A and B are shown apart, each in its own frame.
Chain A
Amino acid sequence: MRSASFARLVLGGLAGLAALVMGCGNDPYPPSDATARVLYGSFVDAPKSLDPAVAYSQREHAITGAVYDTLLEYHFLKRPLELIPGLAAALPEVTDLGGGRSRWRFELRPDLLFHDDPCFTLSAPEARTRRITSADFAFSLARIADPKVGSPVIEPFSNIEDFQAFGERLAARRASDPEFAALPVHAQYRLVGPIAGVATPADSILEITLARPYPQIKYWFAMEFSAPVPWEAIAYYDGEQGRPRFDDHPVGSGPFQLTRYDKRAIFVLEKSANWYGVRHPEWRAPGAVYPSEGEERDRAAGRLESAGRPLPMIERIEMRREKEDIPRFNKFMQGYYDNSGIAAENFDTVIREGALSPEMEALGIALDKEVSPTIFFLGFNMDDPVVGRGRDAAARKRNRLLRQAMSLAIDGEEFLRIFLNGRGVPAQSPIPPNIYGYDPDYRNPFRTPDLERARVLRAAAGYRGGVDPATGEALRLTFDSYNTTTAGLIQHQYYTNAWKKLGLDVRIEAVTYNQFQDKLRNGAHQVFEFGWGADYPDPENFLFLFWSAMRNSASGGPNYANFADDRFDALFLEMKVMENGPARMAKIREMIAILEDERPWIELMVREDYLLRHGWLANVKPSGLSIPTYQYLDIDVERRAELRVAWNEPIVWPLYVLSAGAVLVVIPGVLTYLKERQ
């Protein structure tokens, strides 16, 4: 009797467990969000700073690009990229003031508001937001000039009259007057006086005066650096009394507001009710309405079907941190992420002959490919006595021949095939595709691998058999990198093995990013690996990496190769201010010819981004620039909910088998035990 009741208890428990499991699913989101217009995605690296004056990486722009709106922005569909008005009512009027000076006049849209935020109580006790005026733009520009902020883009904005001098005045006053230094920054800026080249004649008018020709300034007004920032946010979010710091709590005026931010786990952006596109759909502003013009491929891809609809089309964005490729991809395949990149390991499952595999197509998954204007290269430190420019003519020639030989040993196409499944284009010059000056027919004579020719050049450089005559040993060089992972090491070994074929002994020195930066600053590097992504679609943004004024060793600029050539500099300064056309193209070709011969870089590759998305996610078009375009996305939420359920049907039969096994094994055992005890 006792044993029978125990058996009933066990069976009942198992039945209850089975019922419980039947009701369980693997959906990580609350049921109430099943049909909400929420974009689900992932991120890998935690953002460092969300201060728009400082944030300069894709991981940061994924948030700041949505939170901060700019005077100008890029047309979503047109290629080459085209600027359209954003917070500005129209593109700026440019007036030539003579002597290379020019005035850029922006007229702001009326009735622009910041996001709701408690910081605005500093200006009015009950205020939740306030109107954006031209003074807010002037404040943002002053922050870029402020040396204490540490903005990485002081140089391009220094073309504004008095910009650098303002920063110097500010620093000097802070150093000499402690009382001044203790004031809130907006008060300091006011006391030091405005930047002469930034005028605000009316609340809706912003006038920028450039001291010298710099037409690329317009692109900087399409980037978050120049987005309006309320002074209240800087004063309020100081990290004191439980308040976050401003670089963790952005207050902007963009289409989305950051409502949850745990940089190690998740960030949530919600549609802002204060955004001008939401408050004034009747304006039909170009940045607030889905475009009706685009490329032919946009029509074919269905990207023009949303033409004329007000933006944004989604209500919320949830990004979760996924450090590993495989779990991220698996969640995408389960439908829990709407889009995904493709890890090299999954590539052959997903892609067949450059297109989606039939299995993926059957799931309704779509593939968007875009050559990203980001170039990866191996650089030489031109200040180095062995691989650099050399002190005299003989050393100059010898080192140049060595660089040319090393360039010929690296096969960019094979690198792409081995490490990136062929996703990309072997780079021939520093200018990537989709940037003016890129010539698809150009073949760099030192970027077509040729080991025999490389050996001839190496011997001409004085390293017969790779042997350094000074030591009688193989010429020893160091390869510096900030990638310390095993995968990174294998890539580095790919390069060093290639140079080993020339008899060169190149040793890998992989260090942390900070140590690598120190090495660059101190000129303690020899051969190094780096990449550069376009800030804006202009060749100046790539060729300035060779301008001597940008030498890292001299000015801390991004010319990490420390390349300096008078002829190149002269051509650069001429090209920089020219409009696109045959004359500019001729200058660019001449500059590329100098780089071709001098070889401060071994151009490696331009990556092609492969983005996977589920069929329910519409209007995805990568721009190649670090600009999020969440507001253009649309989601068929019913379809998503339906497919998620279908793809994640719990497989319960193993549980039944296990339960049956448990019944068969445990119950007789327990019954026998109880019987024996009686």
Chain B
Amino acid sequence: MSGIEPYMVSNGATLLLLAGVGFAVRIVRRNRLWREAAASLWRRRRLALCVLAVYFVIALLDSVAWKGGVPEHAVGVLPNAPHSIVDRFFLDTTEASYSAPFAAVEFYGDRPLRHPGAHPLGTDIIGRDVLYMALKGARVALLIGGLTSLIAIPLALMFGVGAGYFGGRFDDFVFFLISTLASMPGLLLLIALIMAMGRGTVSVCVALGVTSWVGFCRLSRAETLKLRELDFVRAARVLGVSEPRIIFRHILPNLAHLIVITFVLMFSGLVLSEAVLSWLGIGVDGSWGQMIDGARDELSREPIVWWNIAAAGTALFTLILAVNTVGDSIRDVLDPRTQGDAP
């Protein structure tokens, strides 16, 4: 098989991400302000950070895949297909249909399971291990939150900083653009974009990105308007420093705390937005939103099937809670206006 396959791209992206994390750690360690902020954050939100680290590690384990090494007798496993580390823990674990957590028989009909007692969170209607699906959802959630933020934040910065710094017609244009976008029903625009681009993770991320940059654009524009009048920016201009350099050297670093805070707070909103899209049938395959959508009518079954929705709901809730908690603390730590308010 020739050419670059999706799993290779995923492996490459994971390596890049790890390198990026290493780079960020290095920057934090070398900069006193960031180092103190990180230490303060760790002191305040140890548990939430540990939870995020667990999700991150699960997502990484699900992002690294390779071919081969699959037992020949494994049923329902494509031998030559790439399998991630998470996949490899759950090879050949499917049952025929529903089974409750740690059950030895099927939930409806009492047929014996192929792997009795081996499903801590039970199985779904087509016998897939719910723990496996919940773990797989972590990668999707982080991908949506991360990739969409990487689309939305640069977009917002490009327009916001540009409008704030240059003003004039460009500012008028950006303001017209964000006012127009803000006056469109967000959900309808999202649905229209996804229908136009087709379903898929990238389409959903692009659509979410395109519809969620407006708020941060306003914020960065306002902040830039303030920054460009400050002495150090004026001085740079008087000294003949080029405008791109002023933006990259003096404006953007002073927006760094806003970028970090927005990234974290936007992240949780985006993960929840995907759940809403899944509810509407246009979400991302393998997401917790899709698990919740698939399980919504199971609550009215008799006897009730609760483990699907409970697993997806708990995984989603825990991630959002951890992200929001950490986000609030980051704001407390980095935003000079809240310095001293925090405990």
Contacts and interface: CB of A to CB of B under 8 A. Distances in A.
Interface of A: 325-326, 343-346, 348-349, 414, 417-419, 465-467, 471-474, 484-487, 489-490, 493-494, 497, 500-501, 503, 505, 510, 512
Contacts of B109: 417
Contacts of A493: 126
**Secondary structure of the B side of the interface?**
loop
17 contacts: A343-B300, A345-B297, A346-B301, A417-B97, A418-B125, A465-B79, A466-B78, A466-B79, A472-B80, A486-B278, A486-B281, A497-B94, A497-B126, A500-B76, A500-B78, A505-B78, A510-B199
A493 B278 CA distance: 17
Contact of A485 (B281, B285, B298, B301): B281
A5 B166 CA distance: 65
B125 A348 contact: no
A494 B126 contact: yes
Nearest to A349: B302
A346 B300 contact: yes
Interface in B89-107: 94, 96-97
B18 interface: no
Contacts of A510: 199
Nearest to B94: A497
Contacts of A348: 108, 301-303
Contact of A501 (B76, B195, B199, B278): B76
A500 B126 contact: no
The 6 closest A-B pairs by CB, nearest first: A349-B302, A486-B293, A486-B294, A345-B297, A345-B300, A348-B302
Contacts of A473: 1, 80-81
A500 B75 CA distance: 8
B270 interface: no
Nearest to B289: A486
B77 interface: yes
B282 interface: yes
A463 to B, nearest CB: 12
A414 B78 contact: no
A345 B301 contact: yes
B148 interface: no
B199 A490 contact: no
A483 B78 CA distance: 25
Contacts of A474: 78-81
Contacts of A505: 78, 81
Contacts of B76: 497, 500-501
B224 interface: no
Nearest to B305: A345
Contacts of B297: 325-326, 343-345
A253 B195 CA distance: 42
B94 A418 contact: no
A493 B291 CA distance: 14
B97 A472 contact: no
B75 A484 contact: no
A501 B73 CA distance: 10
B290 interface: yes
B120 to A, nearest CB: 21
A376 B250 CA distance: 66
A64 to B, nearest CB: 29
A363 B282 CA distance: 40
A462 B80 CA distance: 16
Nearest to A471: B1
Interface in B299-335: 300-303
Nearest to A484: B281
A546 B78 CA distance: 33
